[in-house]
Structure 1
Amino acid sequence: MNLTPLKNYGSDANPWRGPDGTVIACHEKLKVMSENLEELRDMALAALEDAVLMGCAEDQVKAVFAEIIDQLSTRYEPR
């Protein structure tokens, strides 16, 4: 399955920003963010497909994923 590319996060048109609004421009940081998003999407897709194959409703599983993401919080203070 070919997934739609992520919205060029980290590009000049759609930059990652720090808590103070400054643009994150470090190539290595942008690379890590891109890789992390790809891994997250791949893992979520695998879990979604497993759930559907087991008979779960796709929309319900996606809602649970969204709830999990909404409940996340970092253990780190903003820089």
Structure 2
Amino acid sequence: MTEGAPDDRAMPALWPQSDGTPVSCRDKLLILQENHTELQGILSDAFEDAILMGVDEAAMRQILHDLVNSLRSPKA
């Protein structure tokens, strides 16, 4: 794997639905996997940029966690 390349080990083996059953539609799985890969690349770039600009690693991890936790459900 090259530096900055997505880590396939981080890809979820299953994408659970609210009832616990896994998403099984191939088209949905493809979109979920593509989104995961794209997000992983963007987050990795943002994380690396912040660290190289002097942001504390633990602080940046917390900032990214907070960003995810601030997302609102489209079902709300």
TM-score (norm 1): 0.77
Q: Deviations over 1:19-73 (max 9, x none)?
A: 1222210011011101101111100111111111211111110111011111212
**Equivalent runs, 1:1-79 vs 2, <5 Å:** 1=3, 2-9=5-12, 14-76=13-75
Whole-Å separation in 1 of the counterparts to 2:73 and 2:9: 22
SS in 2 for 1:18: coil
Q: Comparing both structures, which one devotes a greater share of its residues to helix? A: 2
Ranked by relative contact order (alpha carbons within 8 Å, sequence separation 6 or more), the top structure is 2
Whole-Å separation in 2 of the counterparts to 1:60 and 1:8: 24
Query: Any unmatched runs of 5+ in structure 2?
Result: none
Q: Moved runs in structure 1, 4+ residues, more than 4 A?
A: none
Whole-Å separation in 1 of the counterparts to 2:16 and 2:9: 16
Identity %: 27
SS in 2 for 1:24: coil
RMSD across aligned positions (CA) = 1.8
TM-score (norm 2): 0.80
